[in-house]
Amino acid sequence: MSPDAAATDWIVLKFGGTSVSRRTRWDTIGRLMRERQADEDARVLVVVSALSGVTNELQAITDHHADAAEVARRIDALVERHRAYCGELSIDADAVLGERLAALRALGQDPRRESGALAWQAEVLAQGELLSSTLGVAYLRTQGMDVDWLDARDWLQAQSLPNQSDWSRRLSVSCRYLGDAALRERFRGNGRLLITQGFIARADDGGTAILGRGGSDTSAAYFGALLQARRVEIWTDVPGMFSANPRVVPDARLLSRLDYEEAQEIATTGAKVLHPRCIHPCREARVPIWIRDTERPQMAGTVIDHRAATVPGVKAISSRRGIVLVSMETIGMWQQVGFLSDVFERFKQHGLSIDLIGSSEANVTVSLDPSDNLVNSNVLDALCADLAEVCRVKVIAPCSAITLVGRGMRSLLHKLTDVWSEFGRERVHLISQSSNDLNLTFVVDEALVDGMMPRLHDLLTHSGAMPVDITEVFGPSWKQIEPSGGSRREPWWRKQRARLLAAAQTDSPRYVYHLPTVRERARGLAEVGAVDRRFYALKANPHPAILRALADEGFGFECVSQAELEHLFSVLPTLDATRVLFTPSFAPRSEFADAIARDVWVTLDSVYPLQHWPELFANRQIALRIDPGYGLGHHEKVRTGGKEAKFGLPAEALPEFIAAARAAKARIVVLHAHVGSGIQDVSHWPQVYAQLVNLAEQIGTVSAIDVGGGIGVPYKPDGEDFDIPAFAAAMADIKAAWPQYALWIEPGRYLVAEAGVLLAKVTQVVDKLGQRRIGLDAGMNALMRPALYNAWHEIVNLSRLDDADGVPAEIVGPICESSDVLGKRRGLPDATAEGDVALIATAGAYGFVMANRYNLRALPVEEVLDV
């Protein structure tokens, strides 16, 4: 077969279980068939799965084969289910399914049942697709369509492979899919509109063979290749392949166009949309694959073909659970000849196919993927027993493999720095880089994976390793396709545009703070009833108007330096000292002395001050900051826990601290932890709390627990607001469990970030070697966060707010440093010109307060809006 042979007139459509289990879905199938016939003058072959859940039920029957009563009971339930569905389709169950249901019952009486013979299991499993395809043909005929039923086994022939186990030879087969003109001619005799079964094929002995779970996609691909179809359409319940599992990563982007190799890699490494085995046949025959969503038939989905442009970069990050690692250590000699062949031979004997490999002089570690293998404890025990003859074996499970997929992984390493450091926090058992340069895989403990995926996806898009602005490849995000309940409030600055534009005409750059927004956030937190005291961490933004507004809202304050204390009391001279916390880092003795003289709460986070300046703390109540042992947050540089962080007393050092406090006659009454910032997941605080409570019990004198701040805000326009009700519920649970402690929090960013914007003027627009740069009169001197943490701030052209996005540009400042970049790949309007006003959003926290006079540029001005 020549790969470029002209396509025939066939289009193959495959529908999965959920797409065949409702009458309306069959109406959709009928309509899609008619449209293809009428609009494209095509012949249509539809491949169907069993009704949803039916294959699982049939599998359960094979699992319980020895129990005749159980088998009979389960068969009865399946018969009932299909009869009821005939009712929904208004077709006569006896006339349409009578014979098939009798065949299903007969399998329950079959003499091969007792032993669970593999050939019998295959017959049983095949019934689901035989039933669903029969139903569909009957229903569409009642709708006036001229469709015919086709037995897939007459066209798909199982092919046995070397070293295959008996199980896979019957229940996980591959088929021949090279068709010739004669076959295609014969096939035309079947009719123009056909429905057949996925999942089943003819075994060598003439009986039934099974393609393996999820095998209907592969059936469709085999038919597509055999028939040299124009395309194979896989209709499913998601719009296509995504850059990550959208259920775990709402920011995941639809992948609009992929080549076969990338699609193969994505499917193999975890995406469930397409069965990995189905790509190869289409690739060989050069049949394009379309992935379509039955619920959203108008969406273009994913197209996989050989014409897809080659775009280097990470296309997807996927994960697979249930990975088993087998580590094998030589017991023989250094560089023992034939070691690999000795061990691999044993995998072969057990019919196990190996996925990843890592090796050293004396060890080789491999992974077994459960989707290619029957990896149960019997098989593993037998394998290990055999391997023990030639090496020391260790099984590490359960693990998960996290894979980055994309072309040219090896040339992307410099963009993966943040990804490496994310993995650096976890235990990585194996790293493997595929020899086709399409994937990089990390094997970690299974429990870690779900939490890591959204963060890794974020790092990949931020670093540019995943080139999401290439719109031929990256479509909309899952969040855009299916907006969830949670969303972001409309930012205040949109309504204040005219005022902001006028203000920007005078001094620039300029920070503008919106006090009503500060109050709104403060009141949101005030609703969290379980919290007894709220302190504003004023390092985020010490503007006097903000301090006064928050004092009026009942907030206390947290200061980290003597200068902050002085500033606070100069703005609020009558503030009660018990509303102030002093939590410095490596401050000199004099600052502690000053804080104590003011009688504010003083927090220590190491034993040093108690041991060296005990007289300061004599007969005083102190707070203790604990390092819970790990850090969290939006960037490595803001995580404040763990060995790498300078903050906090590790739990191990608590006895020493208690002793020093006793010696100094200080009483530890507050226990505090703060592990980072930009945290959106409310489950974090209860975790910290539980740890602190544990320690508080050891100390005995603690009456308040301060869980810190770190509450995140949405920096992205499609980000979500922090879930205050969920936070309130989590805090209420804590309070209910440990009512004896007062509960304190100390947010900073959350109160002020969204309330502030930075306005700057466009200075120049320059195109250099194909890269557009928009210069502003504000850069890393005015807002350090992008340069310091790779922070992402929304940047808009306020003068042309309603214009469409233009070519992606880098937004740069006036500082003589390469890192003076406020935003990369931003689609500001093409007409953006000198003098336009740019607005950098969510700049109210850590904005002006971190601004500096580098290059001797003036500090930005600040302005407050109170309405």
Residue 214 within binding range of ligand ASP, rule CB under 6 A: yes
Report the Cα–Cα distance between both ends of the chain, in Å, rounded: 74
Site for Mg ion in 219-258 (CB under 5 A): none
**797 lines the binding site for ligand ASP (CB under 6 A):** no
Partner from Mg ion, ligand ASP, none binding residue 50, C-beta < 5-8 Å depending on class = ligand ASP
Closest approach, Cβ 49 to ligand ASP, in A, equals 3
In the complex, what is the shortest distance from the CB of residue 48 to ligand ASP, in angstroms, rounded to a whole number? 8
Q: Which of 71, 89, 128, 848 binds ligand ASP (CB under 6 A)?
A: 128
Of these partners, Mg ion, ligand ASP, none, which one is at the site of residue 21 (CB under 5 to 8 Å by kind)? none
Interface pick for ligand ASP out of 172, 216, 371, 640 (rule CB under 6 A): 216
Choose the stretch contacting Mg ion; rule: CB under 5 A; options: 185-193, 214-222, 296-304, 665-673.
214-222
* Minimum distance, C-beta of residue 215 to Mg ion, in the bound complex (Å): 9
| CA–CA dist 861, 849 (Å, integer) | 11
Binding segment toward ligand ASP, per CB under 6 A, in 211-219, 619-627, 723-731, 740-748:
211-219
Q: Does 17 bind ligand ASP (CB under 6 A)?
A: yes
709 touches, from Mg ion, ligand ASP, none (C-beta below 5 to 8 Å by class) = none
Q: Where are the beta strands (DSSP E) in 200-301?
A: 200-202, 208-210, 231-236, 253-255, 257-258, 289-293
Cβ 277 to ligand ASP shortest distance, Å: 11
The nearest distance, CB 520 to Mg ion, in angstroms, is 46
Is 224 a binding residue for ligand ASP by CB under 6 A? The answer is: no
Provide φ and ψ at 479, rounded to 5°: -60, -35
Point out which span in 214-222, 363-371, 501-509, 746-754 binds ligand ASP (CB under 6 A). 214-222
Of 10, 11, 12, 16, which one interacts with ligand ASP (CB under 6 A)? Answer: 16
Among Mg ion, ligand ASP, none, the one that 198 touches (CB under a kind-dependent 5 to 8 A) is ligand ASP
What gap in Å lies between CA 293 and CA 300, rounded to an integer?
9
Please name the helix (run of DSSP H) or strand (run of DSSP E) that holds residue 377, with its range, or none: helix 377-387
Residue 717 CB partners (closer than 8 Å, separation 6+)? 488, 794
Nearer residue to Mg ion within complex by CB, 16 or 719: 16
HEC states along 293-357?
Answer: ECCCCCCCCEEECCCCCCCCEEEEEEEEEEEEEEEEEECCCCCCCCHHHHHHHHHHHCCCCEEEE
Token readout for 601 is 């709460």
State the catalytic residue, choosing from 278, 384, 559, 816.
816
- Closer residue to ligand ASP, CB minimum distance, 216 or 842: 216
Q: Is 214 in the site for Mg ion (CB under 5 A)?
A: yes
By a kind-dependent CB cut-off of 5 to 8 A, residue 199 interacts, out of ligand ASP, Mg ion, none, with ligand ASP
> Which entry of ligand ASP, Mg ion, none binds 491, CB below 5 to 8 A by partner kind?
none
Q: How far is CA 103 from the centre of its chain?
A: 45
Q: How far is the CB of 219 from ligand ASP (least distance, A)?
A: 8
Nearer to ligand ASP, 156 or 822 (CB): 156
Q: Which two tokens stand for residue 361?
A: 């002089």
**Helices and strands of the chain, counted as H and E runs:** 28, 39
* C-alpha torsion sign, points 400, 404, 409, 412: negative
* 559 in active site: no
Whether omega before 509 lies within 30 degrees of 0, making that bond cis, reads yes
Which conformational region is residue 569 in: left (phi greater than 0), alpha (psi within -120 to 50 degrees), or beta?
A: alpha
| Residues 342-381 as x/- pattern, contact with ligand ASP by CB under 6 A | ----------------------------------------
Q: Which two tokens stand for residue 834?
A: 């000198």
Query: What is the Cα–Cα distance from 396 to 403, expressed in whole angstroms?
Result: 18
276 binds ligand ASP (CB under 6 A): no
User: Could you tell which of ligand ASP, Mg ion, none binds residue 747, using a CB distance below 5 to 8 A set by kind?
Assistant: none
709 scored as a contact of ligand ASP (CB under 6 A): no
Residue 679: DSSP 8-state:
B
CA 711/CA 680 separation, integer angstroms: 6
Q: Closer to ligand ASP by CB, 128 or 823: give it.
A: 128
Nearer to ligand ASP by C-beta: 64 or 272? 272
Q: Which partner from the list Mg ion, ligand ASP, none does 708 bind, CB cut-off 5 to 8 Å by kind?
A: none
Look up residue 855 and give its DSSP letter.
G
Q: Counting contacts by CB under 6 A, is residue 177 touching ligand ASP?
A: no
Residue 250 near ligand ASP by CB under 6 A: no
Position with the least CB separation from Mg ion: 214
Binding segment for Mg ion among 211-219, 419-427, 705-713, 809-817 (CB under 5 A)?
A: 211-219
**Smaller CB separation from ligand ASP, 220 or 774:** 220
- Angle among Cα 254, 468, 433 to the nearest 5 degrees reads 90
* Cα–Cα distance for residue pair 848/864, rounded to 1 Å: 13
Q: For the sheet containing 193-197, what is the strand order? A: 148-149, 193-197, 43-48, 10-15, 231-236, 289-293, 302-304, 257-258
**Distance between CA atoms of residues 526 and 198, nearest Å:** 58
Q: Where are the beta strands (DSSP E) in 687-734?
A: 704-706
Query: Within 13 A of 264's CA, how many CA atoms are on the CB side?
Result: 17
d(CA 416, CA 781): 27
- Tokens at 125, concatenated: 């499993």
215 is an interface residue for ligand ASP by CB under 6 A: yes
Contact between 134 and ligand ASP per CB under 6 A: no
Per rule CB under 5 A, count of chain residues that contact Mg ion: 2
Chain residues 49-78 in contact with ligand ASP, contact rule CB under 6 A = 49-50, 55
Residues that bind Mg ion (CB under 5 A): 16, 214
- Give the residues lining the site for ligand ASP (CB under 6 A): 16-17, 49-50, 55, 128, 198-199, 213-217
Active site residues: 816
